[in-house]
Structure 1
Amino acid sequence: MKQRRLGKTGYQVSEIGLGCWQLGGGFGPVGDETANAILDAADAAGVNFWDTADVYGGGLSESRIGAHPKNAQVRVATKLGRGGGLFPNNYSFEGVRASLEGSARRLGVATLDLAQLHCVPTAVLREGSIFGWMDRLQAEGLVRHWGASVETIEEGLLCLEQPGLATLQIIFNVLRQDAAEQLLPKAAERDVGLIVRLPLASGLLSGKFSRDTQFEATDHRNFNRDGEAFSVGETFSGIPYERGLELVQELKGLAPESMPLSQFALRWILDHPEVSTIIAGVSKPEQLADNVAASEQRSLFPALNTRLKEWYEKDVKPAIRGGV
């Protein structure tokens, strides 16, 4: 597995990481056997960056990761700010500390490798106290490094003004390309590691969905299609499902015939050198091999990237809801 440097953390992390939302049931129920098989497969494949959060299954995802024997090279990143009674307007230093201490207990560590603010409201980011709290907790040794996971480019640019920010997690894929213009270059300038989430737009870019596809009742792709539970941009990258299916069909006509659509989508992201790692979630261990293979695919031709940008501006961007 090829590795890249995760910004000022200095960590060497796999180009393809593992998103662990699904281990908490965010994409439907996942049993212990399947969860362990996914983590085993990731470890065996050299996928050494695992991303979780305190709210994934009410701590279940963190607990499963903490209990799982893993290679010493694995870096576990967690997130805070959506649970623990903090969201949306009850943030305090004591509350943030308690949240992170809970994550550390579940993960079975004294110091967290990386703690990320988890889609904290823009107003809280603008007020700024929370950044100072993270600096303080880093100085106290509860976290080695801290970062932020954001929903919009505006929030990302705001976070990049913070000297202590080590990483930034963003939505970035062929259906959400705007970050390439300003956010990616600025992150590189500040030596901030970029973590890409939702690289396959909640599975749309696997090319395996249809109008007849059914999702579990507990799957956010069922209950949050129009932003009923949280930001609409977190589900199918903010694109209405039916329109997303149409766009995927168009994308299939642009992708190289020799490359599976999911690998094509991941390769497009990896062709941006500012990106440190992609956290792709899987519901079955065998899906990991397909994701990992994208790291070995050759870069896309410049003419194709230009065509994809034109397609995005004309056909995709007008369909995005929830801001970019």
Structure 2
Amino acid sequence: MNYRTLGKTGYKISEVSYGSWAIGGTWGDVDDKTSLLALETAIDQGINFFDTADVYGDGRSEKLLSKLSKSVKDKIYIATKAGRRLNPHNTEGYNKANLEAFIDRSLKNLDMDCIDLLQLHCPPTEVFYNEEVFSALDDFKKAGKIAHYGVSVEKVSEAIKSLDYDNVASIQIIYNMFRHKPHDELFQLTKEKNVGMICRVPLASGLLTGKMSSNTAFAKDDHRFFNRNGESFDKGETFSGVDYKLGLQAVEALKQIKPHNMTMAQFALKWILMNQDISCVIPGGKTKEQVQDNASSSDLPTLSKEIMSEVVSIYDQYIRESVHPLW
């Protein structure tokens, strides 16, 4: 496992880290015993950074990470998120009182005195223009409830706006073979500001594993069933906003250029890791086998310039027109 620095936090984190949405819920069946085994496997693979949120299983994944942190000797970093518990999820709800209540709840779930990294959880765009929100985060940092804070965003424009606040330590955004805009417009800016880049949805909700087909069925409690058009939250979080059938066509094209020594998932992760401006990628892993497959992408050979260029060509042919302008 290779390690990179998470921006101004100074944390040395595994370039392949762990996203815990899937072990919380809305990804079909999952049980805590299997999830804990996946988390323990992540530790064995050298992963030391775990991303979660208070709404993943209503705190379920935070509590699982609390169990993990108690069972390991070395320091692991846990980043959680706040804001999506608001109902309605609106700009007004992002106030100091609500945020403090969310932070206190996460501290209890995680059984921590201080959260390593607290991220606003894809708030409405207007929140990024509200200085009082970021002033409140500064206060929570001074009070010792959070060590650092960052933002999780839907749009590149929101990420760019967040850079106006000096203490924003990290940005989490969707970046993968089906989402190229962050590379084009954001990464150079975050590099200049020493802001860490956490890349989520790296496998496009599993599309980029190459294991799905037109006959794949998803459980009714799986967001890949109920959120394809953004019925419950931003549709970009499901298959990266790509039309499912179109995505399958693009995956078939990607399979034709995939190196023989990689799985499709490893190919997709390695493509992201080729960019040195990112800090880490956070694929989920419901099983130990998935975690092992993901983690091993760190040590695989680099991709050739020709393959990197061909990925862009496939993006241009299948994806760019319908996705690039939206986020």
The residue correspondences of 1:1-324 to structure 2 (distance < 5 A) are: 1-68=1-68, 69-85=71-87, 87-89=89-91, 90-320=93-323, 323-324=326-327
Residue by residue, what CA displacement relative to the aligned partner does 1:138-164 show, whole Å, maximum 9, x if unpaired?
Answer: 111110000001011001101122100
CA distance in 2, matches of 1:18, 1:137: 25
Amino acid at match of 1:52: T
Offset at 1:64? 1.4
Offset at 1:86? 7.0
Divergent runs of 4+, >4 A: none
Amino acid at match of 1:257: H
- Aligned-partner SS, 1:100: helix
Across the aligned residues of Structure 1 and Structure 2, the Cα RMSD in angstroms comes to: 1.4
Could you tell which deviates more after superposition, 312-321 or 257-266? 312-321
TM-score w.r.t. the length of structure 2 is 0.96
| 8 Å Cα contact 1:238-1:321 kept in structure 2 | no
- Aligned-partner SS, 2:282: strand
Could you tell which deviates more after superposition, 295-304 or 235-244? 295-304
CA distance in 1, matches of 2:73, 2:314: 42
| 8 Å Cα contact 2:2-2:298 kept in structure 1 | yes
| 8 Å Cα contact 1:196-1:275 kept in structure 2 | yes
Amino acid at match of 1:23: I
| 8 Å Cα contact 2:159-2:186 kept in structure 1 | yes
CA distance in 2, matches of 1:194, 1:274: 7
Amino acid at match of 2:231: E
CA distance in 2, matches of 1:204, 1:32: 24
| 8 Å Cα contact 1:238-1:322 kept in structure 2 | no
Amino acid at match of 1:254: I
CA distance in 2, matches of 1:308, 1:287: 23
| 8 Å Cα contact 1:6-1:193 kept in structure 2 | yes
Could you tell which deviates more after superposition, 81-90 or 58-67? 81-90
Could you tell which deviates more after superposition, 225-234 or 120-129? 120-129
When residues 172 and 48 of structure 1 are mapped into structure 2, their CA distance, relative to the original with a 3 A threshold, is same
- Aligned-partner SS, 1:134: helix
Amino acid at match of 2:42: A
- Aligned-partner SS, 2:269: helix
TM-score w.r.t. the length of structure 1 is 0.97
Amino acid at match of 2:45: A
User: Percent same amino acid at aligned positions?
Assistant: 39
